[in-house]
Amino acid sequence: MTYNFDEIIDRHHTDAVKTDRCKALFGTDDVIPLWVADMDFRTPDFVLDAIRKRLEHPILGYTVLPHNFNSALINWIKKRHNWQLQPEWVGFVPGIVPGLSFAVQSLTKTNDHILVQPPVYFPFFHVTERNHRVLNYNELKEENGKFIINFDDFEQKITPETTMFILCNPHNPGGRVWKREELLRIAEICEKHDIIVVSDEIHADMVLPGNTKHTPFASISDWAKEHTVTFMAPSKVFNIPGLISSSYIIANAGLRHKFVNFLEASEMNNGNLFSYIATLACYEKGEDWITQMLNYVQGNVEYVVNFLKNNLPQINPMIPEASFLIWLDGKEFGMNTEDLHNFFVHEAGLGLNKGSVFGPGGENHLRMNVACPRKILEQAMNQLNDAVYKKQTASSK
């Protein structure tokens, strides 16, 4: 079937974070919301149909994990990522960010140091500091329009108290699909210092056409397999984040025992029946939808990149290899981070994520979500162009 990604769907007054939190975040509802990382595309019909089918039964009672839930995940990862999992390695977790927090709490101690690579998905900071651990920063460098890892600094930032490294693979907000040799170098350093790796791979299925395939960190070596906690989910690629369905993959029995015991003690080891049903539908019927969606998103990325190049060259986009997010460098505007963000909101009418929330290296940047119908994106870019023109005209008088 052919999916219609040009369909414009009004999400206002549906309790959608993207629309209904604009006033709180931006101070106004009068913005095109291009911020939080979900898509404005209709959730696939095979997901909605599976939920409707279940609703034909009149009782929504306590529900166990379907017997084929883990096997569907295992088959999906083998097919898409060439990684053969064992059934005992995998299990359900109610969201990747909660999973990150559970990993921190169950596998590290209070005041342990945890290494992260900013600018990066900001909940990495929250799950560390709010659980009374200490952040260590290995700041990413930009080279030829891409983020790269400063491996000398990576090792230097490891202290005797560092026990965990949280990896964003693929990277958010930069969209890097880390190469195998980069992951191997990470593993080499972490092995040397006996560090557990927690790999957030929520964008694993969001690699855009023409780019290197995603490599699960735990698949690169025997050491990585035994020292990694991996999280994956269908939520980004199939636009079902509201159903809170994710999975952990932990090959090492000792780590898995600690993690699962924590889940069970916290009564956080179960989901809801709709998250189970939707996940199964995604992994059993989602291949064609992914292909069409990624092609459409790639077209949106190319549209934004070309528009900026031809009309607003002072904004430098980092072209993503994965995801529907574009990291925008606005330093050439000559504004500080706050003024740049306010200009986009109040002059251009665009709601983007402020770069500074992603940590050091995020100053003077914005994160833009392009997973929306092309007409919305065209309107957004024209509004930005008009706002810049007005600002330039006013300053020249």
- The continuous run of DSSP H or E covering 339 comes out as helix 337-342
With beta carbons less than 8 A apart as the criterion, state whether 5 and 41 touch.
Answer: yes
Angle at 243 between CA 241 and CA 248, to 5 degrees: 80
Which residue has tokens 């929250």?
126
- The predicted pLDDT at position 397 comes to 67
Answer whether the bond into residue 87 is a cis peptide, omega within 30°. Answer: no
DSSP code of residue 347 = I
CA atoms within 13 A on the CB side of 89: 22
**Which pLDDT score is estimated for 269?**
87
Q: Give the rounded distance of the alpha carbon of 346 from its chain centre.
A: 27
pLDDT attached to residue 392? 87
Can you state the angle between helices 273-285 and 45-54, rounded to 10 degrees? Answer: 140
What's the pLDDT at 132? 98
pTM given for the model? 0.97
* b/e map 97-110, b = 16+ CB within 10 Å: bbbbbbbbbbbbee
User: What's the pLDDT score for residue 395?
Assistant: 77
**Beta bridge partners of residue 4, listed in sequence order:** none
Neighbour-count burial of 304, counting CB atoms closer than 10 A to its CB (0-12 exposed, 13-18 middle, 19+ buried): buried
247 forms beta bridges with 92, 232
3-state secondary structure of 255: helix
Cβ contacts of 267-270, under 8 Å, gap ≥ 24: 268/93, 268/94, 268/98, 268/102, 269/91, 269/92, 269/93, 270/65, 270/92, 270/94
Cβ atoms 65, 276 nearer than 8 A = yes
C-beta of residue 90 within 8 angstroms of C-beta of residue 70: yes
**In angstroms, rounded to a whole number, what is the distance separating the alpha carbons of residues 362 and 172?**
12
**C-alpha to C-alpha distances, 381 to 41, 206, 304, 323, 375, nearest whole angstrom:** 19, 23, 7, 19, 10
- In this prediction, the residues of the chain whose per-residue pLDDT falls under 50 are none
Could you give the domains of the chain?
17-44+287-388 (3.90.1150.10), 62-284 (3.40.640.10)
